[in-house]
Structure 1
Amino acid sequence: MARFTPATPRSRRLGRELRRLRDAARLTLEEAGKRIGSSGSRIQRIESGDIKVRPGDVMELLVAYGVAIDGEPGESLLVMARELREAGWWQRLDALPSRYATMIAYEEEAAQIHNFEPVLIPGLLQTEAYARAVISVGQEMNAQAIDQRVQARMTRQAILTRKDHYPKLDVVVAEAALMVEVGGTEVMREQLDHLAEVSRQTNITIRMLRFAAGAHMANHGGFLILESLNDPPLGYIDTLAGALFLESPNETNRLTVVYNHLKELAMSPAESVKFIKERSRAMA
C-alpha cells in the first residue's frame, strides 16, 4: 500500500466506509491489522484516507469484517478502490504544494463553493494574465514552475463550465480587490470585464463588500467552504504559514456563520456587477 500524495475526497470516503464496517465488526485497529497481516497504525492511515489502498487490500479487509465481496456495500467499495488508482490532473504537477492539491481534489467534487476574498479576485474567476501576476510576485520559482501553477489555476476553472455536476460558486469579494492594480491597468481592466461577463452564468454569484460596510467578522482574511454531496463540508484557509483545513463541524459551522454575515453586509449581485463595470470604466 502506498501513501497518497495528497489524500483525496475519494480516499477519505473509502476510509470512512471501512471504519464503519470495522466498528460494526467490533474490531479494534490492532485486531483488524492482525487479521490481514498488517498493523493498527496502517489501518488507521487507510481509514483517514492517507493510504492509496489497493482493491486486493480492500477485499482482505471486507473478508476480515465479514462483508460479502459480491454484494453491497462490498462491490461499491472495491470499485472505489480501483478508481483511486486513477490520478487526478493535479497529482501530476510537481509544482503544487500538497495541501493546495488536496483542496483542488475537493473542489473537483464540490457541489457548492463559498469563497471570501479580501484583497484579490478569487482564483476560480481570475484571468490568465491576472493569475500570472499574482503567482509571480515574490516566488522563488523558475519559469516552468510558475507556468505550471498558472496552468493549474486555469484548469481549475473548467469545473464551472462542464456539462454535468458543475458546482454553484458563490463569492464575496472585498472592494480592495478591485482597487489593487495587479499586473497593471490593462490586466485589471481585462479582469474586471471578465468578472462582469462570468457573473451572467447561472451557477456563479458575485457580491461586492464595500469599504463602507465597515468592520466585519472576517477581518482575519479570506477562506473557502467546499460542500459536496458525499462528504462533510471542508474549510480551507491559505495563510503565510501554509494552508489550513478545517474539518470539524464546529469549525465549518463557524465559517458558514461568518460567510452568511458577509453576504448580509455585501451588495446584491445586480448592484455588485454594476459596481464592477463602473470600476472598469473608471480605469479607461
Structure 2
Amino acid sequence: MATAGGPTLRRRQLGAELRRLREHAGKRIEDVAAHLECSMSKISRVETGQAPIKARDVRDLLQWYGVTDPELTEAVMLVHKGAQQQGWWAHYNEVLPSGMATYAGLEADARVLRSYEPTFVHGLLQTEDYARAVIAAVRPNEPYEVDQLVRFRKERQALLTRTPEPLELWVVVEESALRRPVGGIEVMVAQLEHLAGAAELPNVTIQIMPTAKGAHAALAGTFSLLEFGPREPTVVYVNSIAGNVYLEKERDVRTFIQTFDLVRAAAPDPQETPTTLERIAREMQAS
C-alpha cells in the first residue's frame, strides 16, 4: 500500500486500506461499529480519512479481518503512525474554521491545484493586506483571530515556492472579483500587481474570466481540484457559507474536471492576464 505524503494524506490512505480489508473480509460497517463499540458514522469517517483511530483498534481490526501477513500489518501500522503526526497547521487549530485543517493538509500534500474563484483572489495569491481585509470582514470583532488567520494564509503560500516540487497552481478568477476594492483602492492595486508577479512563476497559471462573457459552466460557485499523483484519487473541495464538502467519487470528480476544463477554455489565454491586470488597476486608480 502507498505510504507517501503528510498526515492528512496518510490518514486517507489508512482509511482506504481499512475499507478494502473490511470489504475483502465480508464485513459491513455496522459489523465493525458493533465490534469496536462505536457509531457507524465514526467508522465511516475513519474509512474516509476524516477521523482518527487508535493503534490498538487498528491492530484489532487487522486481526478480525483475518490479516496474517506480517509485512502488510507492519505497513498498515506504519501508515497509522504517520497519520498521527501533526502538520504545521495544527498550531492554528483554535482559530481555523471547521474543515479548514483538513483542507490545509490536503493542499500541503497536493501536487496540482486547480481552482475557480468567482468572488475573491485565491488564498495562495493574496497579499497580506488583502487577506487581512477579507478575514476582518468575516470576523470584525476578533482581532487576534484575524492576525492568526493572516499568518496561516501566509504560511500556506510557501507551497508555491517549496523545493524540490512547488505546488502547480491553475486559477480561473472572475474579473468582477478583481474589481471589488477589498481593503480600498490602494490595497487592491497592490494585490493586482502581486497577481501579475505571481503569474510569472513557472508553476502558476492565472486566467481572468471577463464579466462580459456572461453565463458559463461554473456559475454555481467556487471549487478546487486537488491532485496528488497517480496512486491517489483527485479530491474536489467545495467551499460555501453552509460548510465545506469533499467529493471523491469518480463520477463527481469527473463532473468537476469537465467543468474546470470548460471554464478555462472559455476564459482568455493566460498570456493576456498581465495586460488585463494592468488595465483593471489603471481604471481602478482613475475612478
TM category, shorter: 0.7 to 0.9
Once residues 18 and 277 of structure 1 are traced to their aligned partners in structure 2, the CA distance between those partners, rounded to angstroms, is 52
Stretch moving more, 62-71 or 232-241: 62-71
* 1:140-159 superposed matches below 5 A: 140-159=140-159
What is the root-mean-square deviation in Å for CA atoms of aligned residues?
A: 2.3
Matched, 1:82 2:81: yes
TM-aligned CA deviation for residue 97 of structure 1: 1.6
Change (3 A) 1:116 1:30: closer
* Matched-pair contact (CA < 8 Å) for 1:106–1:226: yes
2:206 is matched with 206
1:163 is matched with 163
Once residues 273 and 101 of structure 2 are traced to their aligned partners in structure 1, the CA distance between those partners, rounded to angstroms, is 31
Once residues 198 and 184 of structure 1 are traced to their aligned partners in structure 2, the CA distance between those partners, rounded to angstroms, is 21
Unaligned segments of structure 1, at least 5 residues: 1-6
Q: For 1:84, give the aligned amino acid.
A: A
> If the length of structure 1 is used for normalisation, what is the TM-score?
0.88
* Matched-pair contact (CA < 8 Å) for 2:196–2:273: no
Change (3 A) 1:195 1:50: closer
Matched, 1:115 2:146: no
Percent identity between the two aligned chains: 36
2:60 is matched with 60
1:240 is matched with 241
Change (3 A) 1:46 1:279: closer
TM-aligned CA deviation for residue 115 of structure 1: 0.8
TM-aligned CA deviation for residue 78 of structure 1: 1.1
Once residues 141 and 224 of structure 2 are traced to their aligned partners in structure 1, the CA distance between those partners, rounded to angstroms, is 25
TM-aligned CA deviation for residue 280 of structure 1: 2.8
TM-aligned CA deviation for residue 56 of structure 1: 3.2
* Matched-pair contact (CA < 8 Å) for 1:192–1:277: yes
* Matched-pair contact (CA < 8 Å) for 2:113–2:169: yes
2:224 is matched with 224
1:3 is matched with none
TM-aligned CA deviation for residue 270 of structure 1: 0.8
Residues 99-148 of structure 1, C-alpha deviations (whole Å, 9 max, x = no match): 12222121111121111111211111000100001111142541111111
Change (3 A) 1:279 1:33: closer
2:3 is matched with none
Unaligned segments of structure 2, at least 5 residues: 1-6
SS in 2 for 1:95: coil
TM-aligned CA deviation for residue 40 of structure 1: 7.0
Once residues 28 and 260 of structure 1 are traced to their aligned partners in structure 2, the CA distance between those partners, rounded to angstroms, is 38
Change (3 A) 1:283 1:70: same
* Matched-pair contact (CA < 8 Å) for 1:112–1:168: yes
Once residues 173 and 53 of structure 2 are traced to their aligned partners in structure 1, the CA distance between those partners, rounded to angstroms, is 40
Residues 50-77 of structure 1, C-alpha deviations (whole Å, 9 max, x = no match): 4322333322322333324631x32222
2:194 is matched with 194
1:4 is matched with none
Q: For 1:87, give the aligned amino acid.
A: Q
Stretch moving more, 126-135 or 175-184: 175-184
1:175 is matched with 175
* Matched-pair contact (CA < 8 Å) for 1:175–1:209: yes
Q: For 1:120, give the aligned amino acid.
A: F
* Matched-pair contact (CA < 8 Å) for 1:54–1:82: no
Stretch moving more, 211-220 or 191-200: 211-220
Q: For 2:73, give the aligned amino acid.
A: G
Matched, 1:49 2:30: no
1:132 is matched with 132
SS in 2 for 1:137: helix
SS in 2 for 1:20: helix
Change (3 A) 1:234 1:45: closer
Once residues 280 and 145 of structure 1 are traced to their aligned partners in structure 2, the CA distance between those partners, rounded to angstroms, is 30
> If the length of structure 2 is used for normalisation, what is the TM-score?
0.87
TM-aligned CA deviation for residue 203 of structure 1: 1.0
* Matched-pair contact (CA < 8 Å) for 1:205–1:269: yes
Once residues 222 and 250 of structure 1 are traced to their aligned partners in structure 2, the CA distance between those partners, rounded to angstroms, is 19
Once residues 224 and 141 of structure 2 are traced to their aligned partners in structure 1, the CA distance between those partners, rounded to angstroms, is 25
* Matched-pair contact (CA < 8 Å) for 2:126–2:191: yes
Q: For 1:90, give the aligned amino acid.
A: W
* Matched-pair contact (CA < 8 Å) for 1:30–1:39: no
Change (3 A) 1:51 1:181: closer
Once residues 211 and 78 of structure 2 are traced to their aligned partners in structure 1, the CA distance between those partners, rounded to angstroms, is 51
TM-aligned CA deviation for residue 201 of structure 1: 1.2
